[in-house]
Chain A
Amino acid sequence: MKDVLYFAPTELTEALKLLAQYGEKATILAGGTDLVPRINYYELKPEVLVYIGNLGLDYIEQSDGKLIIGAATPTAKIAASPLVAEKAAALAEAARLSASPAIRTAGTIGGNLANASPAADLATPLIALGATVVLVSAKGEREVAVEEFFKGPGETVLQPGELIKEVRVPIKKGKSVFLKLGRRKAMTLSVVNVAVYVEMEKGQRCVDARVALGAMAPVPLRCKKAEGVLQGCVLPMSALEGAEFLDKARIEKAAELAIAESSPIDDQRATAWYRRKAGKVLVARALAAAAGVAI
């Protein structure tokens, strides 16, 4: 293997200068849990590695009605954070269910997003919660919605010279739920995962609903049609006026629409047939749990 130039800057400006200097030749290294195996298997031969673990991007804070999570924050820290558990339950659950203790300790939230796996566990809760990523380069900063961050398997809107600085999760009143099906109970990639966010006015009328599906399309997918049929619906016993009842049938309708929006494939983990079947069940269960509807 040819020599690799390795940098471990301690200042963000220094890191951005290096990324600007080496452009497309530069590969960003954080926890290394996705990158290093690819290097070891000769799938990737980086010329320049820029390690971002010393830039002070390991933090979880609350500011301006948002949860701010540094890009180099390990998944284990997110899983263990009482703040994340309280303000973004689906994200905490996804972090807890992802990979293994060793991978969670090394792997970071920024890496999980930048790796752009369609099955990335942290992507769907962030989409359901309406989170954004802050991307920085030597030229400046921009903020992109997580649902618009992914372009395809392994592809994102990140430009050469740019890195993810942090993830911002709006703190909202509603309830978020994350459900995952793997091939075993731990240390498993998602066969399908689902994250939903539902906000109920006075606990009775749905004023906001967001649904995201993982491992069901080339990118973690927001399902707007499914969300649409839930907006404004009221619980059957409610005194509030609503467009339709938010009941078992409505939730199943939403689940059906979510699956209709998806485009799963056959792979070693499951067939598209199974993903549609199980995905629909998971969407319905997650929505029912978030909305407080028995199904």
Chain B
Amino acid sequence: MKKRGIGIAVGTHPAGLKGGGDPSQAQIRLKPDGTFDLLNGAVDIGQGCKTILRQLAADELDVPLENITHQNIDTDTGPMCTGTFASRVTFMDGNAVLAAAADLKKKIREWAAEYFECSPADVEVANNKVFVKGVPEKSLSMAEVGAMVNWGGKFLVGTGAYTPGPGQQFDPDTGKMTAIASLAFGCCVAEVEVDTETGVVDVLKLVQVFEVGKAMNRLLCKGQNNGGAMMGIGFGLTENVCPYYPTMDFAVQDLTDYVITTAADMPPVMVEDIVEVPHPNGPRGAKGYSEMTASLAGPAILNAIHNAIGVWVTDYPATPERILKALEAAHA
């Protein structure tokens, strides 16, 4: 018999290490053609940080996105970064990039104040130009500034760093600690159909909504949400390192037997959305949240299985075999 059920899971996810002590650095330099090199240490593993860090630098410098080249290929020479993990890159590296861009802007203003013979406070960097406020004839394009600075024997480099705070200790008795950085929130609702004779589960519909502070790039959020859902369905139903834990029998040795989901396993209806409540310390209000996109589908699916068949399966993944065993135990 086929039975349907609905399950809900909610979650929170911190950006970076909850206890702080998790810095990132960034560097931006002005090139002779008036474009910029942005250097940082966080690696783009597909989540799109090369795009959004350039977006933040371009926004702060008020120059076109395509004028920023991003470079993060070398941990020997790149600025320090603790890494791409724990949904920290947007928050930590984003803040570092904004600080570096602001620093470079200040240095461009100081250079231009000398050139225009005015106070740095009167120089504006905007719209890919450098000019004196209220004096239209005293204006240079960024390309002109880049050429004059670099061919004139100067090198303008902005640097920035960010850490949400020094490392915090747990209270060994209560486990309490000061939570640093940000917490994002999410909710997932899954509808499943369980074949009670074979234990096979079909996910019919999956809805995921995340509170992200401020979306830096809505399309990347969408990709993250749907990609995370795919991993979450695998977490809930198929991905199993030790299928017969606590024995190590048939422990998975390679990806041939580690069952990640395919496009065919995706539910016919997938809905994703975001809610934006700007975070006071986030770069332009953004939070990190991406890791949570893979965390919620699993528990939502297990709750939906319970709703469908009235029996709990509490081990991940809820394989057909585990579902049949749980049903038999309940009806024994």
Contacts and interface: CB of A to CB of B under 8 A. Distances in A.
B80 to A, nearest CB: 40
B262 A271 contact: no
A290 B113 CA distance: 87
B239 to A, nearest CB: 10
Contacts of B199: 274, 278
Contacts of B252: 268
Interface in B251-276: 252, 257, 259, 261-265
A156 interface: no
A184 B261 contact: yes
A183 B321 contact: no
Contact of B198 (A181, A184, A185, A271): A181
B262 A186 contact: yes
Contacts of B262: 184-187
Contact of B238 (A184, A277, A281): A184
A284 to B, nearest CB: 9
B148 interface: no
Interface in B59-102: none
Interface in B100-118: none
Contacts of B257: 268-269
Contacts of B238: 183-184
Interface in B215-271: 238, 243-244, 249-250, 252, 257, 259, 261-265
Nearest to A186: B264
A212 to B, nearest CB: 19
Contact of A274 (B261, B264, B320): B320
Contacts of A185: 262, 264-265
Interface string A181-209: 10111111000000000000000000000
A144 interface: no
Interface in A136-152: none
A270 interface: yes
Contacts of B197: 277-278, 281
A281 B1 CA distance: 11
B321 A184 contact: no
Nearest to B234: A184
Contacts of B265: 184-186
Interface residues of A, number: 19
Interface string B28-47: 00000000000000000000
Interface residues of B, number: 21
A186 B264 CA distance: 6
Contacts of B311: none
Interface in A270-288: 270-271, 273-274, 277-278, 281-282
A277 B324 contact: yes
Interface in B157-199: 197-199
A269 B262 CA distance: 17
Interface in A214-265: none
B264 A183 contact: no
Interface string B266-301: 000000000000000000000000000000000000
A294 B262 CA distance: 32
Contacts of A64: none
Given A186-B262, A186-B263, A268-B250, A181 B243 contact: no
Contacts of B313: none
A148 to B, nearest CB: 30
Given A183-B238, A184-B238, A281-B198, A270 B321 contact: yes
B200 interface: yes
A286 to B, nearest CB: 13
Contacts of A188: 259
B198 A278 contact: yes
Q: Which of A185, A186, A269 has the most CB of B within 10 A?
A: A185
Given A183-B259, A271-B244, A278-B199, 9 more contacts: A183-B319, A186-B263, A186-B264, A266-B250, A268-B243, A274-B199, A278-B198, A278-B320, A281-B198
20 contacts: A181-B198, A183-B259, A183-B319, A184-B238, A184-B259, A184-B262, A185-B264, A186-B264, A187-B264, A266-B244, A266-B249, A266-B250, A268-B243, A268-B257, A273-B321, A274-B199, A278-B198, A278-B199, A278-B320, A282-B198
Interface of B: 197-200, 238, 243-244, 249-250, 252, 257, 259, 261-265, 319-321, 324
Interface of A: 181, 183-188, 266-271, 273-274, 277-278, 281-282
Please list the 5 inter-chain residue pairs (A to B) with the smallest Cβ-Cβ separation, ordered nearest first: A186-B264, A268-B250, A185-B264, A274-B321, A281-B197
